Structure 1
Amino acid sequence: MNAKKVLVAGATGYLGQYLVKELKRRGFWVRILIRREAQKQLFTKVDDIFVGEITRPETLNGITQNIDWVISSVGITRQKDGLTYMDVDYQGNANLLNEALKDQVEAFQYISAINGDQLRQLKIFEAKERFVDELTNAAIQQSIIRPNGYFSDMKDFLTMAKGGRVYLFGDGKQQLNPIHGADLAEFCVDKMIAGSPEESVGGPDILSQNQLASIALQAWSKPIKIYHLPDWIRKSIIWSLRTFTSSKTYGPIEFFLTAMAKDNIAQTYGTHHLNEFFKEEVNKEKA
């Protein structure tokens, strides 16, 4: 049994659920933060459950008592319930960090995103990187993990491919290596144990967008039909959204369209492959 006691914030999210499983597999004592009592039924193998809202610091009192490590994957892709990126990705994590500092927690790991430090102009990263700055300057051992896109994020390609064609901006040669949640969770725990201050990571396969589109079409047993749109269309969409909509609407689209215009390659890691993931998702939908 591992003697370390770990708090996982963001436990109900895609990565959070894998983190909980990986920590328990290795024998850690695990406390999770959830927002609602009803979410307790999602977890049967944790040691303690704390109900509180990360955006309301008065509900977090005692959350880090007797905790050695905090791992937070808290963040929102789409702003909802009246909450902004700054409310959740920055202030929510800052509230948690304040509790950790108060209780003299040994280490705090935060899951940001690849190249976030270079894309601070995007609404999503503005909040994430403001918290990274705060964590870096805090009197606590920190671990900042910057993963490439999650396999779950790539399902947008699969949804497009279901209709028999995939649309890409530009020539489709930009590369990325998305990562499965199980592989990322394993990597995060390894780096927490090693005391690594900052790492970027992706999955084992470096794929061009053209390859990614082909894999998605193949998963549906569709002929390869990929249409390349001029890049000025992508730029004009971003400009129009920023000009005529709120950050609630344009935030996730701005992030996606900006990320798709450049290479996003991190160190390769893991054993899960995107083509297998796509096939599993298609089989689930057909079942």
Structure 2
Amino acid sequence: MEEKVLVAGASGALGLEISKILKSRNIPIRALVHSSDGASKVSPYTSDIYRADASEGSSEIKDITQNVTTIVSAMGKSVSLFSGNENSFMENDFFANNNLLDDAVKNGVKRFVYVSIKGADAEEAREFEVAKAHRKFEEALQASGLDYTIVRPVGFFSGLNDLAIMAKRNVIPIIGEGKAKTNSIHQKDLATFVMQYLNEGPETIEVGGPLIHTRLEMAEMIKEKIGGQILKVPEKLAELGMFLPEMVSDNISSKLEYFKFVTSNDMIGEKTGSITFQQYLDDLDLNDLP
């Protein structure tokens, strides 16, 4: 069978970069997207595009994996507070991927590369809906019998755009003193990393960008680029604000809970890539942010 790669979540920040690399290598691509806008974004890289909500059920994506050798899934719910998708993390990160996995097993797909999150398997993270949904699918993939690699990035630079958006509104919140460290990664560097394991690789690997910063250092870089004031939110106060159901939806509450967790704990993966957070900010077009 000729090699064909199904990219799930192909119109997202990471999925697009993976599609670009596949196109440059003349590897045939099948793209799974959720919207007509997503289809337009991936159309320069393939005409083999499925538009569907994979979380709706297996009938939505029946035989999408037919004649596919490898799946790369960057499909999942955005953790941004400013994204509008009302589906839950369990729907977008578990059910959607699990429906895809069922189809893959049925059609004899050889390999599945899944982009999860760092800490999905950590005991202290399992109380959060974000980590719980990712881990549930990891376990399903591990039990599927397919050859697989699970890539757990510490987070994308673009995932920090919420802080840039808030900086435009003159405030940059951080939890506690901002001493927790991370080495977030650019989606281009992550796409290059993921592509190393297209044909074979370890069962799991955690990855980050080239430089480690504290959350305060990153906030200071955002302030230098955009302006605004850094607001240190005491952990106890942050916890109180995250568990007031009359003030926030379950969707937003889940995101806030996870935001507190990742920004108050060290999140460091294997260093890779070359694009720094400062370079990302230098290239960021503020007009693209709401």
For the criterion TM > 0.5, the same-fold answer is yes
Q: Secondary structure at the match of 1:19?
A: helix
Is 1:86 the counterpart of 2:108 in the alignment? no
Q: CA deviation at 1:246?
A: 4.4
Matching residue's letter, 1:255: Y
Aligned counterpart in structure 2 of residue 126 of structure 1, from 121, 126, 132 = 132
Residue 233 (str. 1) matches residue 237 (str. 2): yes
> Corresponding residue for 2:106?
102
Q: Displacement of 1:215 after TM fit? A: 0.8
Out of 197, 202, 206, the residue aligned to residue 196 of structure 1 is 202
What residue number does 2:179 align with? 173
User: Counterparts of 1:117-266 in structure 2 under 5 Å?
Assistant: 117-118=121-122, 119-220=125-226, 222=227, 225-241=229-245, 245-266=248-269
Per mean C-alpha deviation after superposition, the further-off stretch among 7-16 and 80-89 is: 80-89
1:102 partner amino acid = K
The amino acid of 2:99's aligned partner reads N
Write the distance in 2 (CA, Å) between the matches of 1:285 and 1:102. Answer: 42
CA contact (8 A) 2:212 2:268 kept: yes
- With over 3 angstroms needed to count, the CA separation of the structure-2 counterparts of 1:168 and 1:136, relative to structure 1, is same
CA deviations on 1:109-168 (whole Å, 9 max, x unpaired) are 111111111111101121111111100111100111101111111112223333555332
Q: In structure 2, how many angstroms separate the alpha carbons of the residues matched to 1:39 and 1:239? A: 34
SS of corresponding position for 2:196? helix
Over 3 Å counting, the alpha-carbon distance change for 1:46 and 1:285 in structure 2 is closer
Instruction: Supply the distance in 1 between the matched residues of 2:244 and 2:286 (Cα, whole angstroms).
Output: 38
Secondary structure of the residue aligned to 2:197 is: helix
Could you say which residue in structure 2 is the equivalent of 1:8? 7
Aligned residues of 1:8 and 1:71 also touching (Cα < 8 A): yes
Cross-structure match for 2:116: 112
Are the aligned partners of 1:171 and 1:228 in contact in 2 as well (CA < 8 Å)?
A: yes
In the alignment, residue 280 of structure 2 is paired with which amino acid? F
Give the C-alpha shift of residue 8 in structure 1. Answer: 0.5
TM-score (norm 2): 0.88
For the residue of structure 2 that corresponds to 1:7, the secondary structure is strand
> Are 1:77 and 1:252, in contact at CA under 8 Å, matched by a contact in 2?
no
Cα distance per residue 1:237-277 (max 9 Å; x no partner): 23335x87542231111111111111101111111111121
Q: Deviations over 1:26-65 (max 9, x none)?
A: 2311110123456432222215222333123112122111
Q: 1:219, 1:275 within 8 Å by CA — same for their partners in 2? A: no
Amino acid at match of 1:33: L
In structure 2, the CA distance between the partners of 1:162 and 1:80, relative to structure 1 (3 Å rule), is: closer
Name the % identity: 27
- Name the SS of the counterpart of 2:150 in structure 1: strand
Deviation at 1:218, TM superposition (A): 1.4
Please report how far the alpha carbon of residue 227 of structure 1 lies from its aligned counterpart in structure 2 after TM superposition.
3.8
- The residue matched to 1:131 in structure 2 has which SS? helix
- The answer for the alignment partner of 2:61 in structure 1 is 60
Aligned to 1:75: 76
Alignment check: 8 A CA contact 2:11 2:39 kept:
no
Q: With structure 1 as the length reference, what TM-score do the two structures score? A: 0.89
Structure-1 residue corresponding to 2:25: 26
What RMSD, in angstroms, separates the aligned Cα atoms of the two structures? 2.3
SS at 1:264 equivalent: coil
Cα distance in 1, alignment partners of residues 203 and 47 from structure 2: 27
Aligned CA distance change for structure 1 residues 231 and 41 (closer, same or farther; 3 Å): closer
